[in-house]
Amino acid sequence: MEKQITISTNLYKRLETHAVGFDTPQDVMVRILDYYESSSGQTVNNVLPKPIVVTPVRSLQLEISLIPNNESEFKKLMVERKLAWVKIFKLDGTEDIKLWKVQAFTNDSDLKGNLRSGYLRGWKEKGIYKAVLAINEEDLTP
């Protein structure tokens, strides 16, 4: 009997880094479990099992979300308050929330362009795959 499970986006991204060819998430989980169960952290002939090496896959696109999600409304509030909060998600599973002070930002400024040239500059090299911007910090915390 098959069961359906729900996993977080972060875990899915981690599994994706172990995929080979047309592997499904199940194929990857089976391979990891097989490895874990065969080595089970025990030494064989006084040799520790090799750890699984995780090499992050570079994301092809950077996902940017806004709270509120209407860009013109978001920009209006950001111009009024001269700040926004940025939550950054990385392929290694870490998350970070930072304050973005925007003194010279106007309603005509390019929101995503400014973000990419600032906080998200070098996003691929830094392993960033997603950023969520909010006017209120509490909108970014559970």
Task: Report how many domains make up the chain.
Answer: 1
In a domain, 51, yes or no: no
In a domain, 69, yes or no: yes
In a domain, 11, yes or no: no
Model confidence band, residue 12 (pLDDT cutoffs 50, 70, 90): confident
114 contact partners, CB below 8 Å, separation of at least 6: 102, 105
Q: How far apart are CA 130 and CA 25, in angstroms?
A: 21
Residue 44 has pLDDT above 50, yes or no: no
In a domain, 114, yes or no: yes
In a domain, 71, yes or no: yes
In which domain, by residue range, is 109 found? 63-140
In a domain, 74, yes or no: yes
In a domain, 135, yes or no: yes
Q: In this predicted model, what pLDDT tens digit does every residue of 79-111 receive, in sequence order?
A: 999 999 999 998 888 899 999 998 888 888 898
In a domain, 100, yes or no: yes
Average pLDDT of 18-42?
72
